Structure 1
Amino acid sequence: MNRTLIRGATVITMDTLGDLPCADVLVTDDKITQIATKINADDALLVDAGGCIMIPGLVNAHMHTWQTALRGLAANWTLLEYFKKMHAGLATVFEPEDLHIATLVGALNQLNCGTTTLVDWCHNNKTPAHNDAAISALLESGIRAAFFHGTPKPDPKPGEQPFWAVPHPRTELERLLNKYQGHELLNVHAAVLGPHYCTLAVALHDFQMIKALGVVGSLHQGGGAARTPEGWNQLEAAGLLGEQINIVHGHALSDAQLQRFCDLGMSFSVAAENEMTQGHGYPITGRLRRLGKAPSLGVDLESVMGGDMLTQARVALGMQRSLDNFEYRLVHDSIPPTSTVNTREALRWVTVEGARMLGQLHRIGTLAVGKQADLVLIRSDDLNMQPMHDPVNTVVMQTTLANIDSVMVAGRWKKRQGRLLDVILAPKLAALQASGKKIMAGLGLVANGF
């Protein structure tokens, strides 16, 4: 039995205990076993957390981690350029080792930024070896991960069916479930096309598969015209919608559809920064809030932007406040009397709601006795953080990567005093750079200025 006593932090539990200005947290093996103002545990390893804010580990609810070696390359692309240049271009030259190094470094960066749970939405996996390479990287990193098995989206070659007419490969998904499901830090789920991007026959097949296998089914919605406009009605009529379905982005849904989907318990993941950057449309955060629902948040693409989740919380919060403020001014011709969305709600989007989307809120997403010890220590005594008047405001609005001091996953420290543990980064970064150059060279491209 391993016990760690974390002493003297300002603790934001996001649970029934609320915020504790100075508290101790006792971790036994992989679980939180006590939270109190003063804990005596002489046999525990003592960690002084004075000058720190403790929060639940962040949940990145949607990221295509395979694109880590292409960081910044797509920063000026619209969604249509991304489809053409990434999926029909760069993605086609990835080998299993490229997926492995991209996923490994991407997952390590998530840990470094305070994310303890990563939803890896992998849709550049043309062989079983690609899937195994990505999953082995997640396991090597030590992050808690949900591997969402997707499918590539290349342009069809002569004689080939287009990707939107090909059912999800159930046999491969079942192989991955049999091999990996139940691992301490890994779950396997399905990343399907969904009716916006596939034929009705494929959508029916994929949603029936999701229900039969008992996995979460996640899909993109929005971005151009729908391939099967009537698809959602058919899926609903077939009884294939429910809590197991996660919609990413959620654009091009009517108010009536959104209401029904919320009533059915479906979840929604928003990537506010990328949606605004690539032209998806305004994030649906406000539409969900009006229906009493909240989104989880994801980075989406490190080929476009940075990977830290607190930035995503700030962007999503700022965008929704902006939309609400603009709407109020149109009606009242004045500034709103107060903000419509507060910082605690934004923090829920990157903790509680990500856990809920995965069906894991009973295990992660908040700090509570009996839950997994996934937590982050943030230096609140740093130059950019003082004076601290409200810890939640400080976390959401002031915190940067420089303040992420320590990260624990399942009771094991993955980062301490500002440094990742048990990893030598230099050779991994060299391999990532080599992979990125190789992928670009495969299409006759070179990086600007390099």
Structure 2
Amino acid sequence: MSRVLLRGAQVITMAPHRPDAERADVLIDGDTIAAVGEGLDGAGAEIVDVPDRIILPGLVNAHLHTWQTALRGTGVDWTLADYLGRVHGSAAPRYRPEDMRIGTLAGALSQLDRGTTTVGDWCHNTLTPDHTDAALDGLAASGIRGVFLYGTPYSAAYPLSEVDRLRGGPLIGIGMAVRGPQLSTPDAAVADFRAAAERGLVVSMHQSGGEPGPGWEAVRSAGMLSPATNVVHGAGLTEGWLKTLVDAGASVTCTPENELGQGHGSPVTPHLLRLGAAPSLGTDTDAVTPADVLSAARIALACGRHHDHREAAGPFSLQATVTAKQALAWATVEGARALGLADRVGRLEPGLQADLVVLDIAGPNPIAAALYADDVEAVMVAGRWRKRDHVLLGVDHDAVRTHLRESASHLLPHLAGR
């Protein structure tokens, strides 16, 4: 397999035993990181000089509905009620399999272009098996790493036979996107958690819209909370419930711009930090918010600091207790953990997958430069370049744009109230 030596960059490994940033080389052997350090031997490797660049682990968007990409920007002024009524009530039932495929493909490519190498693709418009297969095909065709979180329309029962039918691929895993304890009967919630545990799958659910319902207590009493549990938003959960989740090793994925703008509730980031935990991050839906994980990290960071200022004895806090490095960890390490991939991605360490981003920027504070970067020069997934010299590789851009426009033309008339 091919070997590549990236030489001379400022490297942010996100590994706990290494500096925040260091001048180093990164040696890649096939799909794996072989070494990180100064003066690495590049014998037999393609040498890529990257001075005045920053290399960091590929970003992880832990919660995104890529199937909605054709509706990009249509809901910028929508409340949560608008979104649910117009997208799920009116447009979603009109989706064709080809709409699912192009939306998922275009959404995943957009993520790669922004430096996201792994996505938790929460697909809950699986009207038929053909719709499901089309979405899964679009995700795999993009070249991104992902967990395809199979869900159903809000009014449909959850068919385990479909979960068992699905097969991922070298880069795509399968998980379960369920209605969850807040939106299910207690018996149904426990059954969904048990089914995921029996299959060894991540089980992900939305939680917002008030205090925890009785389904949560049923799941806790059944002993079903675990590191494979992923709660999206978490709004409405009490401090006690968040501690229960943290103690069980569960993850909470915040989508801060969407949560603040649409009305899910305030991001729970400050409460997690107080418990010694941390969020993963998502951008939720292109229909409403930008698909940029670094923007989500910056907003989540600002929320954490705002909480500090609000709780301070004086007019503002005299110390920033939440750091830029923590925000980068939410977009890398924590995202990998939320999707059950912490042993594969999220850090640049020997033995892990060669998923990384090259930023066309450098500076005296590489952490800050990376967090505020807007120029992704290159992206690698599993040792293969997916973006190089600012251009996505192997993509027929004209065809993708044409098919996405056709899908939008079909769907937009069905957005009631537009």
> TM range, normalised to the smaller chain?
over 0.9
Tell me the equivalent position of 1:318.
Answer: 302
Structure 2 partner of 1:185: 171
Whether contact under 8 Å (1:218, 1:245) holds in the other structure is: yes
Deviation at 1:224, TM superposition (A): 5.2
Once residues 91 and 157 of structure 2 are traced to their aligned partners in structure 1, the CA distance between those partners, rounded to angstroms, is 23
Cα–Cα, structure 1 residues 275 and 225, in superposed 2: closer, same or farther, change >3 Å?
A: same
Distance 2:416 2:246 in 1: 46
Aligned residue pair count: 417
Distance 1:211 1:35 in 2: 36
- The answer to whether the 8 A contact 1:79-1:223 is kept is no
Match of 2:364 in 1: 389
The residue that corresponds to 2:149 in the other structure is 148
- Superposed, which structure 2 residues align to 1:16-415 within 5 Å? 16-153=17-154, 163=155, 167-176=157-166, 179-180=167-168, 183-223=169-209, 229-328=213-312, 332-380=313-361, 388-396=363-371, 398-400=372-374, 403-415=375-387
Give the root-mean-square deviation of aligned CA atoms. 1.4
What is the distance in 2 between the residues matched to 1:308 and 1:20? Answer: 23
Gaps of 5+ in 2: none
More deviation, 194-203/212-221: 194-203
Counterpart of 1:12 in structure 2 is: 12
Alpha-carbon displacement from aligned partner over 1:350-386 (angstroms, at most 9, x marks no partner):
00001111221111100001110000000115xxxxx
Partner secondary structure for residue 85 of structure 2: helix
- The answer to whether the 8 A contact 2:211-2:237 is kept is no
Residue 158 of structure 1 corresponds to which residue in structure 2?
Answer: none
Q: Distance in 2 between matches of 1:26 and 1:440?
A: 47
- Shift of the 21–236 alpha-carbon distance from structure 1 to 2, 3 Å rule, reads closer
SS at match of 1:434: helix
Partner of 2:380, secondary structure, is: strand
Structure 2 residue aligned with 1:434, among 403, 406, 411?
A: 406
Q: Does the 8 A contact of 2:257 with 2:296 survive in 1?
A: yes
Seen in structure 2, the aligned counterparts of structure 1 residues 136 and 362 have a Cα distance that, compared at 3 Å, is same
Aligned to 1:421: 393
| 1:445 Cα deviation after fit | 7.5
Distance 2:314 2:414 in 1: 55
Output the TM-score relative to the length of structure 2: 0.97
Per the TM alignment, residue 19 of structure 1 is displaced from its structure 2 partner at its CA by 3.9
Superimposed CA distance per residue, residues 1-32 of structure 1 (whole angstroms, 9 cap, x where no aligned partner)? 21011111000000022245321111010001
Distance in 1 between residues matched to 2:20 and 2:300, nearest whole Å: 23
The answer on whether the counterparts of 1:26 and 1:34 sit within 8 Å (CA) in structure 2 is yes
Q: Distance in 1 between matches of 2:207 and 2:161?
A: 25
For residues 256 and 442 of structure 1, the distance between their equivalents in structure 2, rounded to whole angstroms, comes to 42
- Deviation track 1:262-293 (CA, whole Å, cap 9, x = no partner) reads 11111110001100010111100010111111
Give the secondary structure class of the aligned counterpart of 2:319.
coil
- Determine helix, strand or coil for the equivalent of 1:89: helix
- Structure 1 residue 444, shift from structure 2 partner: 7.3
Quote the offset at 1:139 in angstroms. Answer: 1.0
**Aligned AA (2:115):** G
Structure 1 length normalisation: TM-score?
Answer: 0.90
Give 2:367's aligned amino acid: V
Partners of 2:90 and 2:414 within 8 A in 1: no
Task: Give deviations 1:209-257, integer Å, cap 9, x for gaps.
Answer: 112111010000012576xx21111111112111111100001112211
Paired AA for residue 355 in structure 2? D
Secondary structure of 1:118's counterpart equals strand
CA offset at residue 416 of structure 1?
Answer: 0.6
* Unaligned residue ranges in structure 1 (runs of 5+): 154-162, 382-387
In 1, are the aligned partners of 2:359 and 2:378 still within 8 Å (CA)? yes
Structure 2 counterpart of 1:278, one-letter code: Q
Contact 1:249 1:283 in 2 (8 A): yes
Secondary structure at 1:88 match in 2: helix
Cα pair distance change 1:17/1:230, threshold 3 Å: same
**Greater mean deviation of Cα atoms: 281-290 or 217-226:** 217-226
Query: 1:161-183: CA deviations, max 9, x gaps?
Result: xx2xx54110001101xx32xx2
Counterpart CA distance in 2 for 1:42 and 1:206 is 51
Which whole-Å CA distance do the structure 1 matches of 2:227 and 2:37 have between them? Answer: 34
CA distance in 2 between counterparts of 1:240 and 1:225 reads 20
Q: Report the secondary structure of 2:357's partner residue.
A: strand
Q: Which runs of 4+ in 1 moved over 6 A?
A: none
Q: Residue 86 of structure 2 contacts residue 415 of structure 2 at CA under 8 Å; is this kept in 1?
A: no
